[in-house]
Amino acid sequence: MRIVACTEGSFGKIEPFSLEMITAARMAGAAGDEVVAFFAGQDPEPAVTSLGAADRLVAASAGNTQLIAAESYARLLADTVAAEEPGLVLVPYSANGLDVAGDLAARTGWPLVSYVNEISRDGDWLAVVAQVYGGKILAECSVPLPAILMVNPGAFAEAERRAVDPSKLQHSDATPVVAEGKVRLVGVEVPNYDGVDLTTAERIVCVGRGIGDEASIDIARGLADILGAEIAGSRPVVDSGWLPKVRQVGKSGQKVKPKLYLALGVSGAPEHLEGMSKSDLIIAVNTDPKAPIFNVAHFGATCDLFDLVANLSERLQTGR
């Protein structure tokens, strides 16, 4: 069987989850299966220098656009699927993948399972574990092949980053497909990080909706100051305007890997875990013992965050 692993990259970089898709493809594959990485973007170079762990790379590029819209990516992928006739297509759960996976399922009529964390092969079927309700429930699914899986970033380890052998590269010009697309790129705005760089922070105290209100963030900020940590927030905290966007962790925020990540009142939705699950040490505080954040936490406390922050701050200050 052939497995197509979709990959993404822009501004000279490959998304790390691209390498995870190759690992996921190997997990789903059997001996003799071929893993084909698919890439569409402005510049094929980051894919060519990184995705050598796949057996082949099919890359389409359009040098005249900074980003390829999901509509065009999906068209290019559909052409590749028609040519390669894979038994399985893996799409990352990304902003692009959300549009692309549904498009491909509609075109092919193949089953699509989203939020996939685990994959194993059972003959002509796959056994898949997928998250539902923000990770509170894990669904075990049997999926007949051919199929499409949308895989959670962070669920699989990254495959080794190495260059693609030139004989294994098939490159095409995506410019005509992009030109025919109805979705046009108007511009790219790079966020103003204002001196805040969570991606290099060694310690982060992250507040979730459990913090309750904007004023209470000062309590967590006090603990962050004592720990020499940056303060960060989940998306609802940022959407509420309690912290600036540059301090958001997750799928649509920063991807962080500090030595210490203290999560206060964060439930641990897949979109949040995507940004922090690779932290060296994760400590979670949540009143709900079933909160999915505890699935990735090294240590956890099921108590009121305000009690814990007050006690911990006092002990750290008094040294007792």
Contact footprint for ligand FAD (CB under 6 A): 134, 208-210, 234-237, 248-253, 265-267, 269, 271-272, 275, 285-288, 291, 304-306
Q: Return the number of the residue (71 or 288) whose C-beta is nearest ligand FAD.
A: 288
Identify which of residues 18 and 254 has a Cβ nearer to ligand FAD in the complex: 254
Least separation in angstroms between CB 124 and ligand FAD: 32
User: Do you find a cis peptide bond into 258, omega within 30 degrees of 0?
Assistant: no
CB 255 within 8 A of CB 280: no
Residue identified by tokens 């902003």 is: 95
Chain residue at closest Cβ approach to ligand FAD: 250
Q: Locate tokens 């004592």: which residue? A: 226
Angstrom distance (rounded) from CA 278 to CA 238: 22
Cα–Cα distance, 46 to 62 (Å, whole number): 14
Residue 8, C-beta contacts closer than 8 angstroms, at least 6 positions apart = 14, 15, 17, 18, 39, 41, 92, 94, 96, 97
Q: Could you tell me the smallest distance in angstroms from the CB atom of residue 253 to ligand FAD?
A: 4
Helix (H, G, I), strand (E, B) or coil at 23: helix
- Tell me the β-bridge partners of 117: none
Distances (CA, A) of 292 to 26, 84, 121, 130, 252: 27, 38, 26, 13, 19
**E strands of 76-136, at which residues?**
88-92, 112-122, 125-132
> By C-beta, is 145 or 266 nearer to ligand FAD?
266
- What is the nearest approach in angstroms of ligand FAD to the Cβ of residue 182? 22
- Are 4 and 89 in contact by the 8 Å Cβ rule? The answer is yes
DSSP structure class, residue 254: B
Which CB, 185 or 301, lies closer to ligand FAD?
A: 301
Residue 272, SS3 per DSSP: helix
Smaller CB distance to ligand FAD: residue 3 or 284?
284
Q: Min. distance of Cβ 264 from ligand FAD in angstroms?
A: 7
Select 113 or 249, whichever has its Cβ closest to ligand FAD.
249
**Least distance in angstroms from the C-beta of 257 to ligand FAD:** 15
Short-list 70, 138, 126, CA closest to 101: 70
Q: At what angle do helices 305-318 and 217-227 cross, to 10 degrees?
A: 30
Residue number with CB closer to ligand FAD (243 or 269): 269
Task: Check: CB of residue 150 under 8 Å from CB of residue 91.
Answer: yes
Q: Least distance to ligand FAD from the beta carbon of 229, Å?
A: 17
Residue of 285, 274, 280 whose CA lies nearest to 313: 285
Minimal distance, residue 273 CB to ligand FAD, in Å: 9
Q: How far is the CB of 150 from ligand FAD (least distance, A)?
A: 12
Closer CB to ligand FAD, 56 or 261, in the complex: 261
Shortest Cβ 189–ligand FAD spacing (Å): 17
Residue 2 or 235 having the CB closest to ligand FAD: 235
